[in-house]
């Protein structure tokens, strides 16, 4: 965030200041006290007291304030930060309990005329930290596992208050706003944040019946999210444990609340963006950043400046004085002398959202040091003047080469930037990303990361799905520009890609496709330039493979190895002896046939147990180069947005995206959660699991590893579970196991000791947990290290971009495999376009076709999809918007078989006379045809 040059020490002036104000009260022209007197006093204070910098606990902005003050007011979020705990002079009411609230309601019903007493009790209970933080206590000591709050009583209390008339609800909400604005102490301990948990349970926060209500509730949510997001890491750890105790339903409500807030913020920025674009299309100039606009729009200046002294930057109501008037020029010549500056034609390009946008961007605290170094000493007004003069000089021919040299050398030029209506420097030609400096969105993203970490601590069956954290509102934004800004790593800038849990699989796939298309275009340009300037060489614009069907695997792997430098070009496939132009269908068929051959047991590269997923063969004789090329094939499929018929288990993708994913406690060193829970990408579970006790970590890790192994070796997983669940003390005699692992090497059993001398160490009831740990670690890591490492290198050789880090392992699995679920005829019909079926006979033929599809078995439907599209799998739900099938009526030649164009996902039917004839021809086409020509 930015450094605030405004401070509000919130203290009473005494002595000379008070006398001076009394002497000058008659000359203040309508003000209750003299701004000059406050200016003199504040100036004396600043000359004798050093300025220090602190961070706001709500928005995390850096604020400068005099050393030694008890509190300061943030000018970005208007929150009062107490630097130490101050004793309240008045008597503190007792904590609120469910019984006390019910008694107050009963007294009100008996004496309605005394409603003020109940209103005061509700307002004081919810408006003071000393009361609310200790309300609804369970009587238990606050621990890492228990916040000491009786949430059943909290829910009952909210239900009671919501059943009361509106004034009582308003008293509760105003009290909540008051305590969030100023809790009265630093939030440094886990015991200090129980009031935030109570506020989070308020069901009113999710109500958005009308615009004003939604705005007010989101105003409260932003303060809750800000307070939670910027807590110390030690408090975050306790908070995540507490949230995990609330179960699936409690987490789901809070996730929905954060989603609502993010959608509200995104909609505001989208409206601001539309207004700006409309203003630009009408040729309206960008508005300037003036002192009068500051008075009108910025929350930090509301109710603090008098009309006669606004340009001078002197306040009186809260005794807040700006010390930036000499550093940043906020007003032009026309605003001097207390005269209102004339509004430029067209007004603000942001319309009514300027105040909100500026407050979110922290423009009240614009720090010139954040701009290019060349302009570090210039203010906004000075920058505009310097820009105009420089543009005049740049017209000369002598200046142009110098400007070009500066840009070529990595420097900046004044013409490359402009001052936006919000007072921020933006690059010309770039996109004005309003959300990138919004502390509210950053706080909401961090709060969502904390909820995601709490979800990881849930049992596997009770966890929310990966898609539960994706925001539909974020999907509608320009995520490609957001991805570019995230890659630029602008200090202090917020990007949704930094918190990929907020992105749906559809949004991530879109980003990956754009990133892949850019790399393909770059390779194409390099090939064209190489062909133009290098004589005697013939560069190929595409990665073109000519393969024979009877030697598909050998030809493919050989040519991929020969064109290793061209793997990021667009892929084109040609089958020898066939007349086919690859518009996408040949590529899909090549991927399908190649993966089938690679998985052929004759090659021995992969194993398959009980028809489950394939796993690397520990006894494989192939070299690492073969596995490298298999990794290249998987990477090419993902890079070219093609679904593979390659049943790899989730463990493969976990190992690809999370190095050391299966490091076992006590077996391999475990990486701790060194990074804050609200700061990371939010995709992994290692940080969340590190919050558990060692025994709980071990149970969670064993459960995860057993579930992953069950996908490709179900018998082994069942046996290890039975060993762990056995209650008897005679494990050694019942299971007869030693510390050895075994695998099949082409019919021979090979034993591998898990520890030195493992063949002579029996598994007992005392060491069986260690045995299961070591066995699972061997299966998932040690046994396939020789095969997996080259596979990983081949995969990243093609897909090694930042876009890959946005995905969770489950999402990459879906993109590679597609949706393995069965689909109905209605699912395919929903994504099918029809052409030529306008006549009654055509409509009848169309109905016959869909009736036949509905009557097919699951295997026959997969064959139909394979015949039409080149793949027997439906895309994932997030990719269905890009998937279309076309059904075409070709003509009256009913003796011919249906025709498919897999390049375009098109199926052509002839005008068959009966439904049986259509069914016979269709089944013959999908079961007995292959290839082109």
- Residue 436 CA: distances (Å) to CA of 174, 360, 442: 30, 9, 9
Query: How many residues are recorded in the chain?
Result: 933
First to last CA, the chain: 64
Could you give the CA distance from residue 680 to residue 678 in angstroms, rounded to a whole number? Answer: 6
Which neighbouring-strand residues pair with 743? 750
Tell me how far the alpha carbon of residue 319 is from its chain's centroid.
41
Contacts of 258 (CB under 8 A, 6+ apart): 221, 225, 444, 447, 448, 451
Which two tokens mark 669?
């060193």
Could you give the CA distance from residue 592 to residue 21 in angstroms, rounded to a whole number? Answer: 85
**String of DSSP letters for 522-589:** HHHHHHHHHHHHSTT----SEEEEEE-GGGHHHHHHHHHHHTGGGTTSEEEEEETT-----SSHHHHH
CB atoms within 10 A of CB 844: 12
Could you give the CA distance from residue 499 to residue 843 in angstroms, rounded to a whole number? Answer: 49
Strand 606-608 versus strand 614-616 pairing type? antiparallel
Residue 566 near residue 523 (C-beta atoms within 8 A): yes
Could you give the CA distance from residue 391 to residue 216 in angstroms, rounded to a whole number? Answer: 46
Contacts of 391 (CB under 8 A, 6+ apart): 414, 415
Q: Which of 700, 714, 594, 710 is nearest to 651 (CA)?
A: 710
**Kind plus residue range of the DSSP H or E element containing 426:** strand 425-427
Which two tokens mark 402?
């110098």
Q: Is 432 helix (H, G, I), strand (E, B) or coil?
A: coil
Sign for the pseudo-dihedral over CA of 864, 866, 872, 876: negative
Tell me which of 56, 71, 74, 903 is the catalytic residue.
Answer: 903
Q: Give 555's Cβ-side CA count (13 Å radius).
A: 16
Could you give the CA distance from residue 895 to residue 892 in angstroms, rounded to a whole number? Answer: 9
Q: Which of 639, 650, 704 is nearest to 457 (CA)?
A: 704
**Kind plus residue range of the DSSP H or E element containing 807:** none
Residue 772 near residue 723 (C-beta atoms within 8 A): yes
Which residue intervals of 147-302 are DSSP H helices? 151-162, 166-181, 194-200, 211-229, 233-244, 247-281, 291-297
Strand 321-322 versus strand 80-82 pairing type? unpaired
Does 799 qualify as catalytic in the annotation? no
Catalytic residues: 903
């Amino acid at each position: 965030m930015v450094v605030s040059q405004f401070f509000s020490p919130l203290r009473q002036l005494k002595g000379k200041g008070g006398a001076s104000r009394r002497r000058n009260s008659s000359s203040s022209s309508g003000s209750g006290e003299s701004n000059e007197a406050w200016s003199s006093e504040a100036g004396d204070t600043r000359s004798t007291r050093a300025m220090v910098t602190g961070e706001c606990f709500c928005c995390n902005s850096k604020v400068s304030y005099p050393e030694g003050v008890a509190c300061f007011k943030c000018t970005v979020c208007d929150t009062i930060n107490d630097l130490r705990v101050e004793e309240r002079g008045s008597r503190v009411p007792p904590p609120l309990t469910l019984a006390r609230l019910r008694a107050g309601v009963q007294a009100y019903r008996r004496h309605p005329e005394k409603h003020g007493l109940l209103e005061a009790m509700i307002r004081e209970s919810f408006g003071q930290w000393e009361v609310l933080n200790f309300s609804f206590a369970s009587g238990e000591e606050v621990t890492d596992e228990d916040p000491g709050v009786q949430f059943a009583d909290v829910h009952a209390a909210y239900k009671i208050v919501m059943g009361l008339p509106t004034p009582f609800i308003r008293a509760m909400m105003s009290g909540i706003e008051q305590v969030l604005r100023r809790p009265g102490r630093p939030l440094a301990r886990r015991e200090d944040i129980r009031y935030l948990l109570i506020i989070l349970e308020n069901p009113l926060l999710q109500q958005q019946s009308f615009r004003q209500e939604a705005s007010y509730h989101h105003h409260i949510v932003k303060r809750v999210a800000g307070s939670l997001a910027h807590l110390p890491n030690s408090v975050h750890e306790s908070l995540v444990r507490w949230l995990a105790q609330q179960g699936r339903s409690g987490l789901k409500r809070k996730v929905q609340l954060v989603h609502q807030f993010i959608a509200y913020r995104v909609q505001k920025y989208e409206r601001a963006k539309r207004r700006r674009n409309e203003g630009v299309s009408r040729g309206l100039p960008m508005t300037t950043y003036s002192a009068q606009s500051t008075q009108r729009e910025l929350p930090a200046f509301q109710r603090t400046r008098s009309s006669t002294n606004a340009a001078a930057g002197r306040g009186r109501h809260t005794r807040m004085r700006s010390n930036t008037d000499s550093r940043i020029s906020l007003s032009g010549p026309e605003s001097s002398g207390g005269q209102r500056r004339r509004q430029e034609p067209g007004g603000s390009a942001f319309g009514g959202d300027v105040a909100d946008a500026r407050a979110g961007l922290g423009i009240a605290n614009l720090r010139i040091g954040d701009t290019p170094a060349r302009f570090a000493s210039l203010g906004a007004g000075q920058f505009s003047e310097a820009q105009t003069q420089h543009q005049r000089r740049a017209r000369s021919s002598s200046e142009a080469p110098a400007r070009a040299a500066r840009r070529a050398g990595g420097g900046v030029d004044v013409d490359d930037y402009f001052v936006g209506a919000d007072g921020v420097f933006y690059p010309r030609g770039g996109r004005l990303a309003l959300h990138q400096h919004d502390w509210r969105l950053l706080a909401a993203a961090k709060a969502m990361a904390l909820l995601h970490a709490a979800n990881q601590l849930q049992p596997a069956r009770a966890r929310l799905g990966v898609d539960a954290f994706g925001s539909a509102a974020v999907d509608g934004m320009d995520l490609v520009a957001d991805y570019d800004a995230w890659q630029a790593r602008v200090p202090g800038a917020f990007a949704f890609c930094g918190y990929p849990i907020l992105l749906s699989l559809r949004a991530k796939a879109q980003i990956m496709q754009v990133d892949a298309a850019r790399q393909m275009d770059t390779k194409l340009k390099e090939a064209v330039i190489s062909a133009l300037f290098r004589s005697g060489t013939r560069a190929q614009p595409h990665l073109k493979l000519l393969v024979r069907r009877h030697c598909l695997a050998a030809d493919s792997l050989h040519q991929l190895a020969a064109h290793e430098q061209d793997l990021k070009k667009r892929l084109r496939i040609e089958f020898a002896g066939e007349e086919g132009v690859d518009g996408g269908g040949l590529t899909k068929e090549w991927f399908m046939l190649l993966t089938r051959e690679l998985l052929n047991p004759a090659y021995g590269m992969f194993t398959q147990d009980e028809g489950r997923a394939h796993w690397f063969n520990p006894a494989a004789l192939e070299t690492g180069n073969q596995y490298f090329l298999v990794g290249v094939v998987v990477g090419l499929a993902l890079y070219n947005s093609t679904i593979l018929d390659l049943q790899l288990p989730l463990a493969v993708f976990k190992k690809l995206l999370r190095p050391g994913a299966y490091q076992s406690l006590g077996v391999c060193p475990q990486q701790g959660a060194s990074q804050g829970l609200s700061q990371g990408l939010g995709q992994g579970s290692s940080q969340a699991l590190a919050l558990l006790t060692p025994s709980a970590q071990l149970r969670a890790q064993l459960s995860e590893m057993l579930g992953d192994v069950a996908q490709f070796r179900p018998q082994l997983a069942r046996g290890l579970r039975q060993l762990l669940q056995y209650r008897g003390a005679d494990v050694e005699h019942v299971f007869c196991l030693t510390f050895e692992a075994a695998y099949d090497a082409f019919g021979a059993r090979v034993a591998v000791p898990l520890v030195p001398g493992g063949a002579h160490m029996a598994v007992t009831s005392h060491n069986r947990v260690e045995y299961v740990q070591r066995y699972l670690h061997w299966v998932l890591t040690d046994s396939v290290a020789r095969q997996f490492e080259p596979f990983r290198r081949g995969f990243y050789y093609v897909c090694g971009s930042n876009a890959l880090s946005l995905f969770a392992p489950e999402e990459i699995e879906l993109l590679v495999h597609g949706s393995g679920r069965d689909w109905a005829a209605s699912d395919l019909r929903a994504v099918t376009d029809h052409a030529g079926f306008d006549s009654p006979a055509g409509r009848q033929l169309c109905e016959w076709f869909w009736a036949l599809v509905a009557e097919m078995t699951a295997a026959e439907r997969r064959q139909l999809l394979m015949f039409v599209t080149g793949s027997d799998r439906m895309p994932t739900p997030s990719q269905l918007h890009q998937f279309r099938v076309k059904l075409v009526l070709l003509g009256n030649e009913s003796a011919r078989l249906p025709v498919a164009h897999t390049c375009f996902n098109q199926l052509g039917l002839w005008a068959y006379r009966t439904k049986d004839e259509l069914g016979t021809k269709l089944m013959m086409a999908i079961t007995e045809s292959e290839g082109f020509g």
